[in-house]
Amino acid sequence: MDISEWDKRYIESYESIARNIHCVNGIFVAYNSNVDAIKHIGPGDVENLLRKVDVDTVQQRIFSYPRQIDSPVDFLARLLIAMKDGKAAEIPTYSTDIHEWLTDNLVFDEARMGGQAGIISNLLANMDLNKVIAYIPWLSPEQADYFVSSPNLLHPFVREGRMELLPPAEACNPDYKAKVNWIIEFNKGLSVKYAEDRIIVPRDNRLIISSRPPWIRIDMSDEVYEHLPEMGKTVDGAILSGYQMIKEEYEDGMTYRDYVERAVGAIGQLKKANPDICIHVEFTSIQNKIIRSAILNDIVRNHVHSLGLDTVEVANALNVLGYEELAYSVIKRGEDAIVALYEGAVRLLHELRLQRIHVHSLGFYICVVSKDCPIDIEQHLDSLLFASTAAAARALQGGIDSFEDIKAGLDVPISTQGMDQIDKLGAYLVRQGKCNLDDFERGCICTRNHDVLIIPARVVDHPVDTVGIGDTISASAFAAVLAGMCSPRED
């Protein structure tokens, strides 16, 4: 299909999801929510920060590649790495020192809802989904203020053994504090001089400094855990995220194994009274390989139906599952990177026994679906196109406050670079005899073992922010998949 045919197909997908989204009874969303303190860095900002530290040490730290932020030097090293490649990254910090240093040396531009579960809950509620049940284990009054106030967005609260669903502001615990993450957004073309080097940022992206205070636990109170079947019964799907915060060991002797077990138990509880519930996990950057591996092998495999992730995260996942070479081909920016990405997504689908895996990249998405996934390939295509429209709307407007707001995404141009990338993949797949050119051009490929959807995405030239766009893509696509499952077929 050429761009004008894709444009037409995009409009059809929006209309189809708008018609069907209301048949979704509800979605359960857990666990992570925080306040994002967002700073868009401009010319001179990084140089100013570099003047406050020893640049030679930063350079050494760039080579040693810190996987957690303990000092301003670690922060600047990871910021320069992210800016040089234009790659998204999320690095944990376990003390408040860097937060204080950043507060003293940078003024953030805006504070907004952060965390996959927080962003996704607000998006789904604003999309007018019938019911969104959000569960945040550390819901503080300040955090609750960042949730949209809407009757379809509720949080469980257990009183005298009975579960109630309340607005987050009424379900929060006044003893809890807010978790604040710093988000450093950098724009394509920004030039930074350090030591003898100059970096020109190749693409808009962001670095997240994820605060991990000791009280953060990816878990549920026993009371809420006991009532999960009751909640699971009333929804069609669940979106789970935040597992990246699980630690190997805790001060009280607990280990990651305990939290992995509880996480699997929680999924089991959701399925107890609703065996058909569809579970999506939103993946993210996880620096610790033991945790990354445990999440994939022990939580996702066999328990989860759908996985959403970006390209770097595909490489990271492949890496811990033993596909190092393929992982390397995905991240090195070679001609064949998109082929490696496709191969990687196929591997992950089968290795992790998923029903769908949705990879979002700048300019295109790839989704691989198993043969037993209950919706047809055109409905999968609708879901991806709808998600791209939603992402474009968020990038353009900075947020989505109503279902109607998504429509603005239809005016954003389809990425020609994305089209070029997928043409490369098409040539490869046709050469390999995996599909014919017609099927490829329609974005839908059926093979014996799985089906594949490949779409060009809409890309906003100057996005308001980049953080949270991936969450918007995955959640809107998943909600659209659920709509496909409950809506009457439109043959």
Ligand X SMILES: Nc1ncnc2c1ncn2[C@@H]1O[C@H](COP(=O)(O)OP(=O)(O)O)[C@@H](O)[C@H]1O
The least CB distance from residue 345 to Mg ion, in Å, is 15
Question: Residue 163: which residues within 8 A CB-CB, separation 6 or more?
Answer: 156, 157, 223, 224, 227, 230, 231
Least CB distance from residue 295 to ligand F6P, whole Å? 12
- At position 20, the amino acid (one-letter code) is N
Q: Is 471 annotated as a binding residue?
A: yes
73 neighbors 91 (Cβ within 8 angstroms): no
392 in contact with ligand X (CB under 6 A): yes
Residue 88 binding partner per list Mg ion, ligand F6P, ligand X, none, with a CB distance cut-off of 5 to 8 Å that depends on partner kind: ligand X
Do residues 74 and 61 touch, judged by C-beta distance below 8 A?
yes
Our CB check for Mg ion shows the closer of 284 and 388 to be 284
313 known ligand binder: yes
Instruction: Indicate whether 390 belongs to the interface with ligand F6P (CB under 6 A).
Output: no
Contact 156, 227 (CB under 8 A): yes
Tell whether residue 282 is among the known ligand binding residues. yes
Give me the least distance between CB of 471 and ligand F6P, in Å please.
Answer: 5
- How many residues bind Mg ion (CB under 5 A)? The answer is 2
Nearest distance in Å: CB 401, ligand F6P: 18
Q: Report how far apart, in Å, the C-alpha atoms of 24 and of each of 176, 198, 302 are.
A: 33, 51, 24
Give which of 15, 82, 26, 144 is closest to 479, Cα–Cα.
26
- Residue 34 as a binder of ligand F6P (CB under 6 A): the answer is yes
Per residue, what are the HEC states of 294-363?
HHHHHHHCCCCCEEEEEHHHHHHHHHHCCCHHHHHHHHCCCCCHHHHHHHHHHHHHHHCCCCEEEEEECC
Decide if 438 is catalytic. Answer: no
* Residue 114 touches which member of ligand F6P, ligand X, Mg ion, none, C-beta under 5-8 Å by kind: ligand F6P
236 contact choice in ligand F6P, Mg ion, ligand X, none (CB below 5 to 8 Å, kind-dependent):
none
Cβ-based nearer residue to ligand F6P, 13 or 476: 476
Among 69, 470, 480, 483, binds ligand X (CB under 6 A): 470
Residue 354 phi, psi dihedral angles, 5° rounding: -95, 165
Considering the candidates 36, 204, 465, 471, report the single residue annotated as catalytic. 471
Q: What is the CB neighbour count within 10 angstroms for residue 30?
A: 28
Match 């669903």 to its residue by tokens: 165
Cis peptide before 194 (omega within 30 of 0): no
Q: What is the DSSP letter of 465?
A: -
Q: Footprint of ligand X on residues 88-117 (CB under 6 A)? A: 88
Of 143 and 269, the one with the shorter C-beta distance to ligand F6P is: 143
Taking CB under 6 A as the criterion, the residue among 360, 381, 393, 479 binding ligand X is 360
CA 213 to chain CA mean position, Å: 22
Q: Annotated binding residues for Mg(2+), as ranges?
A: 282, 313, 471
Binding site for Mg ion (CB under 5 A): 284, 470
The residues annotated as belonging to the active site are: 471
Binding site for ligand F6P (CB under 6 A): 32, 34, 36, 90, 114-116, 119, 181, 183, 208, 210, 242, 244-245, 284, 467-468, 470-471
